[in-house]
Structure 1
Amino acid sequence: MELDEKEQEVLNFFEEQSGRWVLMKKPTLSLDTRLGEDLRMVWEEAGELAEAFFQQFNVDSHGFDILDYLGEELSFITKLYYKVKGQPIAETPNKPLTIRMFSESAKAGRWLY
């Protein structure tokens, strides 16, 4: 499928900004690339990238919260505490965060999700 101009601009932005890949081959990006699962971004890194995106593409970020998509990692100590206490670790599943979501929001001028 051929990308329209805005989709290509957004994809180029993510290709330029998605970091260095030293030990692993950088994945080929598409609109369906997920920041957390495919690019292995943690919430801090993805949050900074999102802020740069909102500024560069003049997108209203109202309603966007990176923790909805990439929750904070529990520390080793916290995980150990739960294990010692025999309590299950309640981890909230995150919603996927894809480049397509950014592309559609860039077209609309506001965060749509």
Structure 2
Amino acid sequence: MVKLLIQDAVFVWYEKYYNVKPLLSKSKPQVTLDTSLSTGKYPWARETGDEIMNDYFKRFNVKSSEFEFLLYWPYEKGLLPNFLRPLSQKVPEISPKPLTVRMLVESAKAGRWTLDF
């Protein structure tokens, strides 16, 4: 019963604060356990991802020490292409891993981040 309440609380929190209607869309995205915040049709920018995760860790009292932000929002190249950068400033191409609502729910149940791999 408590686990279901946590799941509902995560959905309500995300729906209220972060599930917004994308520009040029008629409606807000439908959020499911498999909705990804970092990949897919409506990924969040890294700044917003940072805001969401900081709020999540505080609101649901989840220990964040095991959370690896860069797995989900890796560094981006920016405007300057890699071939124009000095070797020391090249940015590797790394695809973000999906960070799903299910992961938020499961970590909230555990009280710590449990899903980096």
Instruction: Report the TM range for the smaller structure's normalisation.
Output: 0.7 to 0.9
Q: Could you tell me which residue of structure 2 aligns to residue 4 of structure 1?
A: 4
Task: Name the stretch that deviates more: 12-21 or 63-72.
Answer: 12-21
Q: Could you tell me which residue of structure 1 aligns to residue 51 of structure 2?
A: 48
**Unaligned regions of 5+ residues in structure 2, if any?**
86-90
- Structure number with the bigger relative contact order (C-alpha 8 A, sep ≥ 6) is 1
Percent identity between the two aligned chains? 33
Q: What is the number of equivalent residue pairs in this alignment?
A: 105
Structure 1 position 90, deviation (Å): 4.1
- Secondary structure of 2:94 counterpart: coil
Matches within 5 A, 1:26-45: 26-36=28-38, 37-45=40-48
Give the TM-score normalised by the residue count of structure 1: 0.80
Matches within 5 A, 1:1-113: 4-18=4-18, 20-21=20-21, 22-24=23-25, 25-36=27-38, 37-79=40-82, 81=84, 90-113=92-115
Structure 1 ranges of 4+ moved more than 6 A: none
Which AA in structure 2 matches 1:57? F
Contact 2:19 2:29 in 1 (8 A): no
Distance in structure 2 (CA, Å) of the matches to 1:50 and 1:65: 11
Give the TM-score normalised by the residue count of structure 2: 0.78
Over the residues paired in the alignment, what is the CA RMSD in angstroms? 2.1
Contact 2:46 2:73 in 1 (8 A): yes
